Structure 1
Amino acid sequence: MSLLLSVGRAVLNISVPRRPGFAGAPDGLLAGLQADTPGASERRGAVHRWRWIAIGAWLCLIASGGMLAYTLGERAGIHSLQQGTTHRLDIYSASLRSELNRYEYLPQVLSLSPDVLDLLRKPSDRNLQLDANVYLETVNAHALASAIYVMDAQGLTLAASNWNQRGSFVDINFSYRPYFQDALRGQPGRFYGIGTVSREPGYYFSFGIPGEGDMLGVATVKVSLDKLDEAWSHSTEKVLAVDGNGVVFLSSDSAWKFRALRPLSSETLIELAKTRQYAEAGELTPIEMREKKRLSGGDSTVVQLSANEARRQTGGEPFGPDYLLDSRPVDGTDWKLIMLSDMKPAHALARTSALATMFALVFLTLLVLFFQQRRRIVHQRLAAREALQQAYDELEHMVGLRTEALSAANHHLQSEITERKRAEEILKTTLDDLVQTGKMAVLGQMSAGITHELNQPLAALRTLSANAMVYLERGQGAQVDFNLRTICQLTDRMGQITAQLKKFARRSAVELQPVVLGDVIADALFLLNQRIRHDQIRIEQAIEPGLLALCEGNRLEQVVVNLLTNAFDATLTATDGAPAIPRRVRIVARSGPEGARLEMHDNGTGIAPEIMPRLFEPFFTTKEQGVGLGLGLAISAGIVRDFGGLLRAGQSELGGAVFIVILRNGQRAETPSHA
């Protein structure tokens, strides 16, 4: 700031001509006269107000862009969930329908059996009853149904496959069941309910057995759906099967079985009590779930569990997560299959889209401000150059006039002109140096801070984003969630890096605290993992467990990344055009008499003796033009100095270079028992 003020004063002194009466006026007086100009304070107030209006408009634009990106990202995530849910519902529906179709024909086949017909015509004949029982038992041994039984026209069971078992259906009247009443009217009976004798749920198929004029009886097959129930219980998804009344009778979550999706009406409860469909299931408590919004273009709905239901499902969380509810009717029944998909992936995608959009808008704003500032600097340079040229022209003109009028003092004037030209050249050179220094300071704070220091986190973001797409295609939601969380952590870390670069540029105070060197090295290697694998660099580590150093962890990680990057470049340079040798980088962290000592060795080309004195100078680099700015080691050395430490270089025992970071020791951490 002081440098820019000095340049401004120099330009002002050159560009503003001095009046004869004000040749010796001090700067404070000139400033006072300008401040007292009528309307100056009003203009400054107006500029201040417009500046705040522009900032407010910019913040509104950022917020609006983030909200729009969040909405579009959430919509895309929901669409992806819907596609996967639709496919899985088709599979569940097909498996359920296939299980039912296996037994649908069986009651009609039983109605053709002579043993069954003879028993219905002579129900009191015990021999015929025994033959029918044995026949039904034999059929069920092959069909593997829960039970097969035959009832007369009054609903009394005459024969059953479980006739010689505990809980036999023989002599039990089921006339109150809807499947019996439908079959007696000549319609195929279909019914799901809990058995009043066996206390086991099942699906009932029934068929009326016609006689001469009237129905002789009803053949019934009870099928257990426990296999589907058991298969669903192992699913990571929430799958429900509900009947026409909204009662859940199959569920991947046993806590929701025989509960209602909504409160049942009194008429429905009376009808269920009459048929005793769920007589053994309790009160059919409704699932506490509320609808948040209904999605357009389908039956999908976003729902949320209540506080009590959320604690039951998530183990104590006060509110349950949002779920995408999709349903599918089951052909041939009044049932519906319902699937609840967790909305966390959609919300994570929406948050990522919003953050990316907001960061892009902020970056574009900073880019515009950077070019505007650059244009202003160029304009000031041109104005200063024009002012210098004007002053020079006026001086030449005055010298010419003085030369013509005072030819006798020609020698003295020539000497004065020579001295003045020399002073003007010094002033011009000084001005160019000041402007160039200011320009390089801006470029050093912005370009070096953003381009050089954020290069590795951006590479990590690209890798994690690509992996997230692959995991998403494979349906590995847990890995996608882990990658997205890691991306959020990296973006937070990028914000911390830029804040730390700003503190470094301003020479701000550093808040030191004990930091585990092993964790810092692990984080740095994580950021460089892709390059390590790509360049086949062998990393050797000798890290003292629990070693603490007094520093700031994020900034120390920045130093480690810079030094490792230089070591990788050195190993690549050493093998360029030469026979292939293993590329090695050794990291050593140990305590010593000087403090905590961190060494990074490589087997690269090493450091030439003539380069060593200039190694930590800003903008000094041995790399090709356009590859490096020469700021990495200078920034690293400054960070270490802020920690009260020391960064030095030398020759490594591996044949290349070694960079040594010495920091003050922190309190030693406890070593884990498994270390």
Structure 2
Amino acid sequence: MLKLSAPYRAGFAGSPGDLRDKAVLARFNGDAPAIPAGAPPLPRWRFWGAIGLWLCLIAGGGALAYLVGERAGIRSLQQGTLHRLDIYATSLRSELSRYEYLPQVVSLSPDVLDLLRKPHDSSLQLDANVYLETVNAHAQASAIYVMNENGLTLAASNWNQPGSFVDMNFSYRPYFQDALRGVPGRFYGIGTVSREPGYYFSFGIPDGLRQLGVATVKVNLDKLDAAWSHSADRVLAIDGNGVVFLSSDPGWKFRALRPLSSETLQQLAQTRQYTEAGALTPIDMREHQPLSGGAGTVVQLRAGEAPQRAGATPFGPDYLLDSRPVDGTDWKLIMLSDMKPVHALARTSALATMFALVFLTLLVMYFQQRRRIVHQRLAAREALQGAYDELEHKVELRTEALSEANQHLQTEIAERKRAEEILKNTLEDLVQTGKMAVLGQMSAGITHELNQPLAALRTLSANAVVYLERGQSDQVDLNLRTICDLTDRMGQITAQLKKFARRSAVELQSVPLADVIADSLFLLGQRIRQERIELEQAVEPRLFARCEGNRLEQVLVNLLVNAFDATAAAGASPRRVRIVARRTVEGVAVEVHDNGTGIAPEVMPRLFEPFFTTKEQGLGLGLGLAISAGIVRDFGGLLRAGDSELGGAAFIVTLRNGHRGAQGMQSTQGTQATQGALHG
């Protein structure tokens, strides 16, 4: 029960805080001089002017914070970009330096020198081709070839391949002209024969004071493109004319950063550097300065050059452009870094500043508002005391009601436990009744099973008396042994019936399915033979289920009896029943198929309801499937029905998988004996 403490009640009388609140309230009520009586009210235009000034202050602070944040973001982005550019430049330079020495090594080869001195000797040409092919295989370059002083290729590493450079003239290439003058040649271009881009290293082959020819190595740099394409950076390499020849974006390759002059285009046409690349269209971009001033070069790409957001301008998002030269070449490496993080940082700075200003303003307004709330607290305390008194009374009434409800609930719980116990006992009796009903249905077959050996016993015993009087001891011994065998057979039949009929609790253990199936068929053996039912079995070996064997046997007997009745009702000829036991994803499954009448769609939803049956009156109570479904649920399994491939119905029992143990091995041996008695 909720009670107010004595100190809390006393606090309403005259605590220091209460006195302060009363003093403030007196000021609000006019008991203390706060504002001179003759002070004029604040004009409305001053109020809105103050609001406008406050908004301008917040907007100005946000704009200043945006500029500062943008400049700091650009500096941070540039530091990371320049570091990555150094890494890309180092990797590019490292890739080129691997092949710089190779033309000079080729120029020292005796095979190459002999060929240049005797260019029409076919054997020397073959030796030079094989040598260049071997060197290229180890160096893993695109091609290595040797030209005479007129630019005609005499030998090449691809001499025996389609598109061979042999007999091709490359005197128009700058790398040939540089090497012929005694200067190592360096050139990037698209091959006029192979149509593949590459970087060319050339070196003159001297013979005294004149040049015999030029040794050239072509290197494919596409693997750098492949490495760059997996990077999040937009990286490109341009030559001295501003033409992109390496790029992380394949669409930018062999395009210009700016429109090329007619002189440059004429020079490129003479050297055929990019003849196969097309028109060298420029990349459509524009430069502009960021809002924070000259902190870097920012470019925008027109739509189609970069991903564009919906509703954006014809130019896409901003990119920060940074570049650095590649040592030993006239190339430049350029990286475009997305400015989204910079803009996000600037917006965050602006929003944080604006929120801080708004917070300070709200803090001032809070203290102003608090003065107005003080007088309400005094009135609220008096109302609170009355509310607590009323609440105590309601709590007392509610507690009494809860006590009565709790007592009533305890009584209902006890009654429900008793009902559950009665239901459990009833279900146990119902299961046992189901067994007895099955035994009653099989009584005629069981009587026939026992009458045959009894009649044989009567005949054999009478014959034994006659043989004994005649002194034919051998015949007497044979008859007595046969009587013993028949007695054992009758004992097996009665033992199986006692086992099936006994009351058993649900104690889950690992049970071999082959044993349970064999015991079920043993009980129904007389009916199977008498009604000439074709029984098919497909039982996988070493199948164990987590269940109670006697109750699972009852389920299978119920399903088999229903299958026999269904085939008889359908008038099927022959009457076929199939038993399948197999492993499944859920565990193990036992299926009973028949070629009987099947299950109608309107019957399927009510199939497992107690006392629901499709048999004629007096032939069934409708409890077999309901009891079987309950037994399988106790095992933690599932019994379901469906259509069979034989044309009738199929009932599938799904159980958890068990493990083979000593008990299972002993049971298997017992089942083998039972099966022998059944087929005997």
State the TM-score, normalized to the length of structure 1.
0.50
State the TM-score, normalized to the length of structure 2.
0.49
Question: Considering only CA atoms, is the larger Rg found in Structure 1 or Structure 2?
Answer: 2
